[in-house]
Amino acid sequence: MPMPPRIQMRLIKESLIGKEGSERVRILNGHLAALPGFYQGPYGKIRRWLLDEIERSRGRMRVRHQESFAVPKEGDRQVALVGAPNAGKSALLHALTGVQVRVAGYPFATLKPVAGLAWINGGGFQLVEVPGIIAGASEDRGGGRALLGIARNADQLLYVASLGEPVDALEEVLTELEVAGIDKPAGVCLTGLDLPGAAGRAEAFLDAYPGLPQRVCSTVTGEGVAAVSELLWALSGLIRVRPRQRGVGAGAAGPAIWTGEAGAGDAAGGEDRPFALDAGAVVTDLAARIHKDFAARLRHARVWGPSAKFGGQTVGPRHRLADGDEVELVLNRR
Ligand SMILES: Nc1nc2c(ncn2[C@@H]2O[C@H](COP(=O)(O)OP(=O)(O)OP(=O)(O)O)[C@@H](O)[C@H]2O)c(=O)[nH]1
Ligand SMILES: [Mg+2]
């Protein structure tokens, strides 16, 4: 004689209190086996709930049992997108990189890190969505240690918070990273600029976190997304250097002059595509970046821009470049 469904559901829930992981799944499977074989009505409902709960418990197990989520680095900088559940991290990742991810109006839609590559001013930024950080993450709550490990491994952080969520949601996340001792160049992206009352709410965030550079955007309309890219660039400390355009090529007898024509080097994508280099980079670093042979063939360079004393100054391979420079490389012929 089966129990009334409501009582059965209550007993099932009671039996699950404090049970996690494989033990929880085992108990759920036990209930499933003991359930009267109705697929409709109240017992059908319990059956579906049990099946869903098994799925959810397995999902949480995958997160918890993963010791490390290290994402191999690509590009010039790896950026961890860190925030509370439902902050808009996936939507932002999609807006910045075009990568297809699950965007959903419920928390914990993302359970594993997801990465995408964004090109900003000629620099490759690998954005990694860290699944939602909850209070207690630094003590491994919700598999928090592995999640925080992603942020620890990244070069810079972008905190993500929604203008539709309480201002405190971000506070919890910041606290967990602080407790975990993670300190990187960081900024904040507030999503939901299209929501009613967003401007006023953005001010409340600004007041609450004055120490962090903040940008607001809408992943729905795209407004403000470009400014978020610029923030990532500013946090990176990279400099951008352009190949100098020339009207005429070098004579066949003279040295080869690289002016950035498409096809001149493996990495030269277009006519005046900038190259992103680490601050402190010298002319040889630029040459090596453009083509693997160029550093060895480099004779000297001519520079226009902030690092040059005058436009077209001839400089040696060890000349230190600056953001906004234009450079012409003079190479020995092969
Ligand atoms: N109106 C509006 N909604 C947004 C914006 N950005 C994200 N959302 C919505 O916010 C919800 C959560 O977005 P997600 O990108 O899935 O959030 P998440 O931080 O990845 O969430 P988890 O992976 O579950 O931690 C979804 O319903 C999105 O459609 C925005 O700029 N404007
Ligand atoms: Mg997500």
196: domain CATH number is: 3.40.50.300
Burial of 122 (0-12, 13-18, 19+ CB in 10 A): buried
Q: Which residues hold their Cβ within 5 A of ligand 2, which is an ion?
A: 89-90, 109-110
Of ligand 1's atoms, which has the minimum distance to the CA of residue 105? 27
Contact 294/287 with Cβ under 8 angstroms? yes
Task: Report pLDDT for 268.
Answer: 42
Where a domain ends, among 65, 85, 116? 65
- Number of folded domains in the chain? 3
Is there a single domain that holds both residue 168 and residue 301?
no
Task: Report pLDDT for 255.
Answer: 67
Structural domain boundaries, residue 88: 77-236
pLDDT below 50 — which residues of the chain?
247-251, 262-270
Task: Report pLDDT for 121.
Answer: 92
Where are the alpha helices (H) located in 192-291, listed in sequence order? 198-208, 225-236, 283-290
Of ligand 1's atoms, which has the minimum distance to the CA of residue 93? 15
CATH number of the CATH domain containing 261: 3.10.20.30
- From residue 317, give the alpha-carbon distance in Å to each of 209, 220, 296, 320: 44, 47, 10, 9
In a domain, 72, yes or no: no
In a domain, 262, yes or no: yes
In a domain, 71, yes or no: no
Where a domain ends, among 218, 236, 254? 236
Q: Ligand 1, residues 97, 173, 188, 191: which to mutate, most atoms within 8 A of Cβ?
A: 191
- Residues 228-272 have pLDDT tens digits of 999 999 999 999 999 886 544 444 556 677 666 544 444 444 456
Lining residues, ligand 1, CB within 6 Å: 83, 85-91, 103-105, 107-110, 132, 191-192, 194-195, 218-220
Of ligand 1's atoms, which has the minimum distance to the CA of residue 94? 15
In a domain, 215, yes or no: yes
Contacts with 65 (C-beta within 8 Å, 6 or more apart), sequence order: 21, 143
Is there a single domain that holds both residue 134 and residue 223?
yes
- Residues 310-328 have pLDDT tens digits of 999 999 999 999 999 999 9
Q: Ligand 1, residues 86, 111, 112, 159: which to mutate, most atoms within 8 A of Cβ?
A: 86
Task: Report pLDDT for 246.
Answer: 59
Ligand 2 centre from 192 Cα, in Å?
Answer: 15
Is there a single domain that holds both residue 226 and residue 252?
no
Relative to the alpha carbon of 163, which ligand is closest? Answer: 1
List the residue whose alpha carbon is closest to atom 11 of ligand 1. Answer: 105
pTM: 0.75
The tokens describing 21, both together, are 């992981």
The tokens describing 293, both together, are 């042979």
Task: Report pLDDT for 186.
Answer: 97
Is there a single domain that holds both residue 157 and residue 225?
yes
In a domain, 327, yes or no: yes
Is there a single domain that holds both residue 159 and residue 256?
no
Where a domain ends, among 181, 216, 236? 236
Is there a single domain that holds both residue 125 and residue 219?
yes
In a domain, 210, yes or no: yes
Is there a single domain that holds both residue 207 and residue 136?
yes
